[in-house]
């Protein structure tokens, strides 16, 4: 094992000796640079894969037009809950769809007026 002493500082006080390496190999190891490069390559690959996947999914969803809302004339005795139960899209709970109907039409869930027209989004 060799011992190399670093040059003296301007104040004349030397630095601690570097033990176990000679001065030519005291820099960063090549393996660290390769590992860092591989890490960046993996990050770049994942980023490109994510962008490609989002483009593929986005283009297939955007190609399908949204179904037109169903228009309903409120009858005496109709409730938002009944309308939501009859027209809720597959996979959506009746409670969630009732909130969509109320919000979309700006009506009160407890005060529907007969003859008013509601749009039921699909």
Helix (H, G, I), strand (E, B), or coil: what is residue 18? Answer: strand
CA distances from 50 to 36, 44, 46, 53 (A): 21, 10, 6, 5
Q: Is the pTM of this model over 0.85?
A: no
Which range is most confident: 24-28, 57-61, 98-102? 98-102
Q: pLDDT at residue 90 above 80?
A: yes
Say what percent of the chain tops pLDDT 70.
Answer: 69
CA distance 73 to 112: 10
Overall average pLDDT of the 58-86 stretch: 84
């Amino acid at each position: 094992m060799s011992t190399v002493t670093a040059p003296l500082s301007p104040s004349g006080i030397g630095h601690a000796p570097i033990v176990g390496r000679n001065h030519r190999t005291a820099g960063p190891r090549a393996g660290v640079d390769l590992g860092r490069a591989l890490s960046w390559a993996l990050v770049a690959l994942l980023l490109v894969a994510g962008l490609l996947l989002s483009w593929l999914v986005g283009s297939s969803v955007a190609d399908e037009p949204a179904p037109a809302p169903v228009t309903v004339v409120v009858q005496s005795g109709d409730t938002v809950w009944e309308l939501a139960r009859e027209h809720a899209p597959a996979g959506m709970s009746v409670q969630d769809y009732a909130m969509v109907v109320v919000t979309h039409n700006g009506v009160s869930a407890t005060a529907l007026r007969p003859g008013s027209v509601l749009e039921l989004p699909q």
